[in-house]
Amino acid sequence: MDDRKLTILKAIVTDYVSSREPVGSQALVQRHNLQVSPATVRNDMAALEDEGYITQPHTSAGRIPTDKGYRLFVDRLSTVKPLSVAERRAIQTFMEGAFDVDEIVRRAVALLAQITRQVAIVQYPLISSATIRHIDILSLGADRGLVMVVSSSGAIGQRFVPLAQSDDHHLARLRSRIAEQILGVTHREAAQRLSAAAEVPDPNDSGLTGPIADAVRDIVSEEADAKVAVAGVPNLTRFGDQYESTVKPMLEALEEQVVLLHLLGESAGNDVRVRIGRENPYEPLQAASIVASGYGDDGSSWGSLGIMGPTRMDYPAAIASVRAVARYVGRFLAEG
């Protein structure tokens, strides 16, 4: 495709997303300073239509992009609309008040829906890909204690345990011995190590047997159920003219967690992926687009997040917003 036709296609996509009306050649010349005549633009539009990038919804109307046209538009984005300093500051401020995983997910999904004006979906971090970051044993007095295990995903597991001996030196020794076995490894590997140690007699009371070790093993053996949070469903009211073709199937898909997890799961990498219309494997959503990204730390993905909406969306802004929120979520979980 030559540069002029690509410029015209980009202008059609931009105008259609903004106005929600089919775009004509005269309007393109007036709004985009194309420096060619309307007749030349009409010829190029005819060529774009023949090649399947745009279509005419009805006789005598202007043109609208097809899925193929949106795909070329997204693939040829030379720059993604940058977030303003105010937008970046607003995201950081909004996320800074989060104090645990649940709160981070709730804030992230609400923020993403607010700034994109689409339906936002955030997958809770998967514990299976996380490692053990910290363990602590606290004496609560009266022969009772609390065991805490913190995951790299930000999840915190807790168990109350009986403490036959609760002086600080003894607890520090127990903590150190267990930490040697489990810090820096996945939950599954930590559970396997502690189970193997429990089968060996422990005459020296190294800390790998007994109620505290049992509590730690119980915590790290738990596998978090994959689940998602959704926000921004009322944003679909903006697309009431597409209710039967787009909005209704999206509402039905939002009832199926398995479908949402599958769609997000295809974006496990830590960069943005865009699926447009018929590129979606789930047939009822083939009039919608998904913009999603994985989030995590140091190249590892703990979960995914993204937005879902009609194919008529502001892709540069959507990509920038999804990328920014994914990076902030990964950072806050890593630092939490």
Provide the CATH topology of domain 3-75: Arc Repressor Mutant, subunit A (1.10.10)
Asked if the model's pLDDT at residue 268 lies above 70, the reply is no
Angle at Cα 174 formed by Cα 168 and Cα 175, nearest 5°?
85
Best CA proximity match to 83, nearest among 111, 125, 106? 111
Question: What pLDDT, in 10s, does the model give residues 66-104?
Answer: 999 999 999 988 666 777 788 888 888 888 777 778 888
Give the residue, 280 or 73, on which the prediction is more confident: 73
Q: How confident is the model at residue 127 (pLDDT cuts 50, 70, 90)?
A: low
Q: How many residues does the chain have?
A: 336
Instruction: List the domain boundaries for the chain.
Output: 3-75, 85-126+226-335, 130-221
- Residue keyed to tokens 């800074």: 96
Q: Which residues contact 127 (CB under 8 A, 6 or more apart)?
A: 151, 153, 155, 187, 222, 223, 224
CATH of 130-221, one of 3.20.10.10, 3.90.79.10, 3.30.390.10, 3.40.190.10: 3.30.390.10
Lowest mean pLDDT among 65-74, 162-171, 175-184, 303-312: 162-171
Question: What pLDDT, in 10s, does the model give residues 6-50?
Answer: 999 999 999 999 988 999 888 898 888 888 888 999 999 999 999
Give the residue, 265 or 34, on which the prediction is more confident: 34
Q: Count other C-beta atoms under 10 Å from residue 218's C-beta.
A: 15
| Cβ atoms of 307 and 291 closer than 8 Å | yes
Q: Residue 296: phi, psi to the nearest 5? A: 175, -145
pTM across the whole model: 0.72
Rounded Cα–Cα distance for residues 66 and 182 (Å) = 53
What does the pLDDT read at residue 250?
Answer: 87
What does the pLDDT read at residue 238?
Answer: 83
Percent of the chain at pLDDT > 70 equals 90
Asked if the model's pLDDT at residue 255 lies above 80, the reply is yes
Which residue type, as a one-letter code, is found at position 252?
E
| Cβ atoms of 162 and 141 closer than 8 Å | no
Rounded Cα–Cα distance for residues 260 and 255 (Å) = 9
Provide the CATH topology of domain 85-126+226-335: Beta-Lactamase (3.30.450)
